[in-house]
A = this chain, B = another copy of it.
């Protein structure tokens, strides 16, 4: 996965290997300890054992670094893997998301969305490295489902994406409620009832739960 915003040049002294990762790691630690505010580039650099300029060489701003480090932390390349049925794919993906977000504090995500919103370089990084892969993973699952006859041909992948990820995001950002199976079930049921053909594959999907 590519993390920094720009390719390093090919001539001159090569970048110190491992520095990227050290910075991302230090950045993550500080995010979990102090959040976006109370997180300083100085501190990141010194924890990563790196000069400050080396941080700015890789990411153009604090916001971009934060987004990159969170993207790197919550990365999971193919969320909606092929389990044999669309409902299975969906449940597997939602389980991953639940485990990923469920264990973290709410504040982190507000901070990430803030960083994203307030910096265009950060936004681009976030869309490229985080949102796009998830959308594509879901789009592939939808294509498989259409091929299997589980979903209707005109199924709008963008809307499905909104219906799947939206409630999660909303509960994380706003809710005082945990990410539980009831929510997952409602989401799965909603998507399938709205876009489904009524036909399911013979892979028996469990009625609830991970």
Contacts and interface: CB of A to CB of B under 8 A. Distances in A.
Contacts of A1: none
Given A111-B117, A113-B173, A194 B190 contact: yes
Interface in A141-194: 156, 158-159, 162-163, 165-171, 173-175, 177, 182-183, 186-187, 189-191, 193-194
Given A111-B117, A117-B114, A118-B36, A183 B162 contact: yes
Contacts of A163: 163, 167, 186-187, 190
Contacts of A119: 37
A30 B183 CA distance: 37
A171 B187 CA distance: 16
Nearest to A113: B110
A208 to B, nearest CB: 13
